[in-house]
Homo-oligomer: A and B are copies of this chain.
Amino acid sequence: MGKKEEMPEEEKLQQLADFFKVFGDVTRIRILHVLKQSEMCVCDLALTLDMTQSAISHQLRFLKQMALVKNRREGKTIFYSLADDHIETILRMGTEHIEEE
């Protein structure tokens, strides 16, 4: 929609750092890794990752803000899933880098 090419270089680099920062935490990586397989509600994420509902919820808010996950409500429960398959690609790239050599 907007012309992002016009963004000043410095600001772009800041955004880039902010973007990668999201992946720089194990909890968030674990969440993304689980969601990569299937959508999941908050309480099941908490169970699966063995963390409190609150901790998961806080991270999900962050991930949502950064547009990495989306959610849908079904009655009382809210299901989270990856926002797009771009995320998987990035995770795979990182994995490949780590695994080589």
A70 to B30: give the CA distance in the assembly, Å.
30
Asked if A16 contacts B29 (CB within 8 A), the reply is yes
Instruction: Give the number of times this chain occurs in the complex, counting copies.
Output: 2
A98 to B15: give the CA distance in the assembly, Å.
8
A17 to B22: give the CA distance in the assembly, Å.
9
* Cβ-defined partner of A20 (8 Å) among B4, B20, B99, B101: B20
Interface of A (DSSP majority class): helix
> Separation in Å of the A94 CB from the closest CB of chain B?
5
Task: Say whether A43 faces chain B, with CB atoms less than 8 Å apart.
Answer: no
Interface size class of A (residues with CB under 8 A): 20 to 34
A47 to B84: give the CA distance in the assembly, Å.
40
> Separation in Å of the A82 CB from the closest CB of chain B?
13
* Cβ-defined partner of A97 (8 Å) among B1, B28, B30, B86: B86
A: which residues have CB within 8 A of B? 1, 4-5, 12-26, 28-30, 33, 86, 89-91, 93-95, 97-99, 101
